[in-house]
Structure 1
Amino acid sequence: MSSNMQPKRKIYSALKIIIPALVFFVSIGFVGKKQEEKLCRKIIVRIENQDGNFFINEGDIMDVVTKNGQEMVVNLPFENVKLKEIEERIEQLKFVQSAQVYRDLSGYMMIDAMQAKPIARIFNPGGKDYYISDRGEIIPVSDRFTARVMVLSGSFFKPYLNKNMLLDDAGRDLFNFIKFIEKDRFWSAQFAQLEVDKRGMIKIYPQVTKQLIEFGNTFEYANKLSKLKIFYDKILPDRGWNRYDRVNLQFKDQIICE
């Protein structure tokens, strides 16, 4: 046997030991990485629709996810995390309109929460006030934050305070009117309060001028607002901003000033 064959056999024998060992360690590393990819590595919370209204924050949602710190979620295998159940719990928060909870490709738990947006506040002399959201939902006020929105008062709202929505026939018409005002930059700046009686008849208290506006019901409200715009643009500058105490828009094609 040649002297060259001896080193080759030793190399071959060494490789027979080293290669399986390398395969073993690579396999362990691969399995470990796969296991790590299955873990919840981080929770990312994104809150939408705030627009300067901060009724909920990341801490509120994390308290729901972890049940006030009682349950560990980070570093837990995703197969042990009930994403749908967490989503449903988040949606129970009074200022959350909707939520989506899902896992992304990085192993993060992603939470997208849509905050309810208040557009008016119901003044309730007999108890707690409420907000009306931009979807017609009636939601409680917050101890943490107060939204700067138009005030609503009057006996019309009393039957709705124990309901979740202002969206039956009469309520829907009024909600559409309130939403129209909230979206219009001019009218939202003009109106401080709507007082609505049980028949749905509206009195408007302006922000700046002192006139009480007898608006009537919401029927053809766009035409009534057009008449009121004429009052602001033509009559008040000519006659004086505080000359009239009352403006009545209830009659077709008329503006009655007293």
Structure 2
Amino acid sequence: MQLKKSLNIVLKIVLPILLFVVTIGFVGKKQDEVLCKKIIINIKNQQGNFFINEADINSLLTNDGNEMVMNLPYENFKLKDLEERVNAHKFIQAAEVYRDLEGNMMVDAVQARPIARIFNPDGADHYISDQGRILPVSDRFTARVMVLSGDFFNAYIEKDMLADDAGKDLFHFIKFIEQDKFWSAQFAQLEVDERGIINIYPQVTKQLIEFGTVYNYSDKLSKLKIFYDKILPDRGWNRYDRVNLQFKEQIICE
């Protein structure tokens, strides 16, 4: 009697669990048989930069048209593989590929945003993204960003990343300039030698700005602001050829 009672208790517990598992498996199988009805692509973070579009992402999903996904059941391909393929694109910062309840394939992609361009007289130019990644240039679109030059960048182009090791501090300085309305309008080019010494070429005035390293850059920018606000209006905008900010509490004009 006790054994029968125990068996009934076990059956009451186990059977619902088994039924649930079977039901989930059946639903999952049915979901895999659902056809991919439509591909809906959403690209974020473009902000006037159009380095990648819906056609590019469609090409990534279909392997340049060699692999069909439309009107095929989801069991024929893996969404994770498609997601990895989209994420491998240089101008994709992050992407997620999934399906909705109606059978549509959803692609949410975040485009990498360039903040500066590395001018390379011995090879191809590159961009630096707001995440510190090195990006290729595009035949389709040119971003209007500050120009960088100098031997400092050579090693980082090979690594595809500036926000790393000794490049990290310079990246934060470049990002600060890009985000500041005043300085981003003032600076046309940063020339950085292999030691990390910076010369700045302004947009409007003709002075070469000998900036030094990025160490204490906020103090150096404060001195440069004094130069613009007080010295140039009094002495003339093009009187000086050079301004040196490398020495503490000094502005040296030549």
Contact 2:32-2:74 at 8 Å conserved across structures: no
RMSD: 1.5
Aligned 1:53-202 pairs, distance under 5 A: 53-202=49-198
- Pairwise CA distance, 1:76: 1.3
**CA deviation vs aligned residue, 1:133-188 (integer Å, no higher than 9, x gap):** 11111111111111111000111112222111113332001001000000101100
The count of corresponding residues between Structure 1 and Structure 2 is 225
SS in 2 for 1:84: helix
Equivalents in 1 of 2:75, 2:103: separation in Å?
12
Contact 2:242-2:253 at 8 Å conserved across structures: yes
Letter of the structure 2 residue corresponding to residue 174 of structure 1: L
Structure 1 unaligned blocks of 5 or more: 1-33
Letter of the structure 1 residue corresponding to residue 189 of structure 2: Q
Equivalents in 2 of 1:186, 1:148: separation in Å?
16
Contact 1:37-1:107 at 8 Å conserved across structures: no
Corresponding residue of 2:216: 220
Equivalents in 2 of 1:92, 1:200: separation in Å?
31
**CA deviation vs aligned residue, 1:52-89 (integer Å, no higher than 9, x gap):** 11000100110111122222212211222311000111
Structure 1 stretch 238-247 or stretch 66-75: which is displaced more? 66-75
Q: 1:35 to 1:184 in 2, by over 3 A?
A: closer
- Pairwise CA distance, 1:36: 11
Corresponding residue of 1:51: 47
SS in 1 for 2:159: coil
- Pairwise CA distance, 1:249: 0.4
SS in 2 for 1:71: coil
- Pairwise CA distance, 1:130: 0.7
Corresponding residue of 1:30: none
Structure 2 unaligned blocks of 5 or more: 1-29
Equivalents in 2 of 1:35, 1:167: separation in Å?
43
Letter of the structure 1 residue corresponding to residue 85 of structure 2: R
SS in 2 for 1:162: helix
SS in 1 for 2:86: helix
Identity %: 74
Structure 1 stretch 34-43 or stretch 139-148: which is displaced more? 34-43
Equivalents in 1 of 2:239, 2:174: separation in Å?
28
Equivalents in 2 of 1:163, 1:82: separation in Å?
30
